[in-house]
Amino acid sequence: MGLTDFSHRLCPVARSMAVLGERWAILVLREAFYGTTRFDEFQRNLGIAPNILSARLRALVEHEVLERVPGPGARHEYRLTAKGRDFFPAYVALKRWADCWMTGPEGPPVVLQEAATGREVVAPPLLGGDGRELGPEAVRALPGPGASDAMRARLARQEADHA
Amino acid sequence: MGLTDFSHRLCPVARSMAVLGERWAILVLREAFYGTTRFDEFQRNLGIAPNILSARLRALVEHEVLERVPGPGARHEYRLTAKGRDFFPAYVALKRWADCWMTGPEGPPVVLQEAATGREVVAPPLLGGDGRELGPEAVRALPGPGASDAMRARLARQEADHA
């Protein structure tokens, strides 16, 4: 089985996290969400070694989360692509969890605010049809259009185990 | 600067991803959300080497995302903790993005359905005060109660740069 086959075996979430789960990648992306575009700004804000920053930016450009575009003068800028911008709701959902479970008693280091209204920006809850929060035990996983035979067998087994 | 200091320097999202961003960790967590509890079930469903599975389960137990509890017979089971269950909305938000941007033309391998109603479960959009989708450019990052001096300086610089 070739490398491509292996990558297709993994679920899309796992493939996403293989890129974005890397510690510096998510910090670079956070900076991009907060408006950073220039290499020297990323470097200063993150206190990161230039070679590590280069590698992270390159990976994010390769995965089309950022694009490298000509900036003022001889500089380049790193801009969020549509794919990168679209990660923002997932980032906010991760932040909610991390602020709740991964911070000390001092509370979250950063709060997000809607610029136009001053409202705090928090991830919306996941609700069921009855308007109550939906936990994993209330959800079934079913084969989607792109399910492999192995995934179909695996989900059928799950349904049988928990019937 | 000691190791603890370094871990506190990183934002909670980055610390979260240092655990959950690992490729197998997110697959193990996905299995737990879909109802898997036993070591042999995880192993069979994921096709993962036992030593790697042991290490991933141990890390998730250490980070209190899963707990190891006595099961039927001499077996143990891995159950989601409150912290683990609370990651579900973030998982669903990641899945939405990954299904949209990280799958081929065949579509997502798995769809989620609310068991009680049969409704498809999708992450709710992040909306602004005007009811429209809120992108990163419409959001300001401000120091929260747990902001370090460095973070305060960094966010002030950002505000000045983009004023």
Q: With 70 as the cut, is the pLDDT of residue B28 above it?
A: yes
**Any idea which fold B1-86 has?**
Arc Repressor Mutant, subunit A (1.10.10)
Q: Which of B12, B104, B109 is facing A151, going by the closest CB pair?
A: B109
Residue B47 or residue B135, greater confidence:
B135
Tokens in use for A139?
A: 């959800």
Place of tokens 């899309």: A12
Residues in chain B within 8 Å Cβ distance of A22: 17, 21
Residue A71 or residue A2, greater confidence:
A71
pTM of the entire predicted model: 0.92
Q: For the segment A90-142, what is each residue's pLDDT rounded down to a tens digit?
A: 999 999 999 999 998 889 999 999 999 999 999 999 999 999 999 999 999 99
Residues in chain A within 8 Å Cβ distance of B11: 27, 30, 98, 109-110
Q: Work out the angle at residue B140's Cα, subtended by the Cα atoms of residues B138 and B141, and round it to the nearest 5 degrees.
A: 145
Q: For the segment A8-44, what is each residue's pLDDT rounded down to a tens digit?
A: 556 888 888 888 888 889 999 999 999 999 999 999 9
The residues spanned by each domain of chain B are 1-86, 89-124, 136-163
Q: For the segment A135-153, what is each residue's pLDDT rounded down to a tens digit?
A: 999 999 999 999 988 888 8
Do B125 and A121 lie within an 8 Å CB cutoff? no
Tokens in use for A110?
A: 């950063």
Instruction: Assess contact for A107 and B142: CB atoms under 8 A.
Output: no
Q: Is A160 on the interface with B (CB under 8 A)?
A: no
Q: Is A127 on the interface with B (CB under 8 A)?
A: yes
pLDDT of residue A6: 44
User: Across all residues in chain B, what is the average pLDDT?
Assistant: 88
